[in-house]
Amino acid sequence: MGAHLSADGVVPLVDAAGARAADAAAIAAGVAPGDLMRRAAGHLARTALAVGGRAYGLRVDVVVGPGDNGGDGWAAAPLLAAAGADVRVLVPAGTPAPRSAAAAAASAAWTTSGGRVADAAADRPADVVLDCLLGTGAAGPLRGSVAAGAAAVVAARTAGARVVAADLPTGVASDTGATVAGAVLADATVTFGAPRPGHVLHPGAAHVGRLHVGRLGPAHPVDPSGTTWGVLDADGARPAPLPVDTEKRRRGTVLVVAGRAGASGAAALAAHGALAAGAGLVRVAVPAPVRAEVAAHHPAAMVVGLPADADGAVHADAVHALPPLLADVDVVVAGPGLGLGAGAAAVVAALLAHDVALVLDADALNLHRDAVAPLRGRRATLVLTPHARELARLTGGDADRAVAAPALARDLGAVVVAKGPGTVVAGPDGVLVEPLGTSALATGGTGDVLVGMVGAVLAAAPDAGGDGVLRAVARAVRWHAVAGRVAGGAVGRTDAAVVVAAVPAALDACAAAPGPLDRGPAGRVAMDELLGVAATAATAAPVVPTRPAVSA
């Protein structure tokens, strides 16, 4: 993906090395480290006051470590005090002296002005706690003074304080989202320059709270060309408007090959997902014994019967029925409910040999567990949509989606949609993460809806290649996530039929979302505003009650 991340539609995710490079570039350009620290401190102080809901009398504890993250906390303390807050800096016992000159200067400025300093064992209740213990690049278990400081932050939150983390909550890895024992759970996180992968990858994303991105000025360049990770912003996820004179075949034709006796619903949901996401024509090929069942689900889907075996699953002879079905389709979706028999294996192998865009899900993936060689080297587009267990089967046991999905995508030359909270959409050259997870999608059949939606977006852009395929698939994943939020309402519980019914409302919401906000080089913007989440919730509300907008 590389340089395209600087283009409209994607928020780049910058790793620890990229963040350090931005700091170094700013300093090389003549910006004093202390100036960068003061700008970061301003973002922290404003966020703390916003989270606390007032300024005067707000009790704020700033828990600091020895690095520049701690320096940001030392520099934020006088800004909070000037606003009228009751501020104290907590230095856990055993914390080394500030490591950098800028952090040491910020510490000295606070203490020489009479600012209060205590250790993290102090028991004064706080309204807001700033977690300034560790910054970008920290890894490994929490030890010594850092562990004590993190425990103090956790205890304060348990007692009712709100927590604002600087850069990342302590215990969350910047580049992977991995967490360690004792990791801080924040209500808001302020990062600087650009988001990190760890802000949107789970489990770390669940610790971040509402994410704010603070700009550190025009001389602090975050270079997106150096990263291959990103998140679609509101513009990147926006459905393309259809011209009034469009025609159904121009909207794309999808063939769904799925289902068997006892699993006809999977085929029906995939077909419904494709139709809801905008496919102009959807055909469904299922074993003949379940043709009528599937046809009854949606009158707009054209359902044909394939030869079946004695168990009601597709027969190997079905490969002879495929050529006429494939003659004029843009995308084939295969796998949901198909089974693992010889007939299913023969059909999927025949589809892989055909020069058509192909989306494989569920049983079509499980047929290739520990044997992915047949998936390599396709000229036509290939998209795989595994959940965590299916991904582990394809990769020989590696279920870390942030590592396994990109590696598999590079190996196969495919796009891999590693489903789950913080879905990872990986291509051979880059990764787009979907941060809008919801528990509403943790129910049977929602994956079938998604694979149909993926088929629809690919059918609408049959000539897209490379980055275009990756973005198209990521758009479908975003629409699916928003549909889950609409359908799940405040409690996040629903079923796949309600999710697919909410897809049109989700598309309307994504179309109406405002574009990314630009508050200037020194501004601060929340990640949910970049994604258009607040507008999404408001627009979708008339359909099904929705939860309040939250951040990634």
pLDDT for residue 246: 76
Distance from C-alpha of 184 to C-alpha of 172, rounded to nearest angstrom? 8
Predicted pLDDT at 15: 85
Distance CA 312, CA 159 (A): 59
Helix axes 503-512, 467-488, angle to 10 degrees: 110
The domain locations on the chain are 31-220, 253-512
Secondary structure E strands in 133-203: 162-166, 188-192
Domain 253-512 sits in CATH 3.40.1190.20? yes
pTM, two decimal places: 0.91
Q: Are strands 415-418 and 382-384 parallel, antiparallel or unpaired?
A: parallel
Average pLDDT over residues 438-451: 93
Does residue 23 carry a pLDDT above 60? yes
Tens of pLDDT, residue by residue over 371-401, are 899 999 899 999 999 999 999 999 988 768 9
Give the pLDDT band of residue 271 (cuts 50, 70, 90). Answer: very high
Q: What is the 3-state secondary structure (H, E, C) of 402-426?
A: HHHHHHHHHHHCCEEEECCCCEEEE
Q: In 3-state terms, what secondary structure has residue 78? A: helix
pLDDT score of 136 more than 80 = no
**pLDDT surpassing 80 at residue 30:** no
Segment 496-512 mean pLDDT: 94
pLDDT tens-digit readout, 463-493: 665 678 999 999 999 999 999 999 988 778 8
Residue 112, CA distances (Å) to 42, 105, 108, 313 in order = 20, 10, 6, 79
Q: How confident is the model at residue 220 (pLDDT cuts 50, 70, 90)?
A: low
Residue 462: per-residue pLDDT = 63
State the DSSP code for 315: P
Q: What mean pLDDT is predicted for residues 134-151?
A: 88
* Class of the CATH domain delimited by 31-220: alpha beta
* Backbone phi and psi for residue 418, each to the nearest 5 degrees, phi listed first: -85, 100
Based on its alpha-carbon atoms, the radius of gyration of the chain, rounded to whole angstroms, reads: 26
Other C-beta atoms closer than 10 Å to the C-beta of 354 total 14
In percent, the amount of the chain with pLDDT more than 90 equals: 71
CB environment 260-298: b (16+ within 10 A), e (fewer): bbebbbbbbbbbbbbbbbbbbbbbbbbbebbbebbbebb
Residue 332 has φ and ψ, to the nearest 5°, of -115, 130
| φ/ψ bin of 334: left (φ > 0), alpha (ψ from -120 to 50), beta (otherwise) | beta
Q: Do domains 31-220 and 253-512 have the same CATH topology?
A: no
**Percentage of the chain exceeding pLDDT 70:** 91
Of the pLDDT bands very low, low, confident and very high (cuts 50, 70, 90), residue 538 is very low
Angle between the 68-82 and 33-52 helix axes, to the nearest 10 degrees? 60
Handedness of CA 3, 179, 395, 332 (dihedral sign): negative
State the pLDDT at residue 226: 63
The predicted pLDDT at position 537 comes to: 55
What is each CA distance from 537 to 482, 502, 534, in whole angstroms? 9, 12, 5
Strands 430-434 and 229-232: parallel
* 62-83 pLDDT tens trace: 999 999 999 999 999 999 999 9
| pLDDT tens track for 305-352 | 999 999 999 999 999 999 999 999 999 999 999 999 999 999 999 999
Between 158 and 33, the more confident residue is 158
pLDDT tens by residue, 81-133: 999 999 999 999 999 999 999 999 999 999 999 999 998 777 789 999 999 99
242-264 confidence digits (pLDDT tens) = 878 777 878 899 999 999 999 99
Structure confidence by residue, pLDDT tens digits, 187-216: 999 998 889 999 999 999 999 999 998 877
pLDDT for 5: 42
Query: What pLDDT was estimated at residue 4?
Result: 41
pLDDT value at position 549?
Answer: 29
Mean pLDDT estimate for the chain? 89
Looking at residue 216, its pLDDT comes to 75
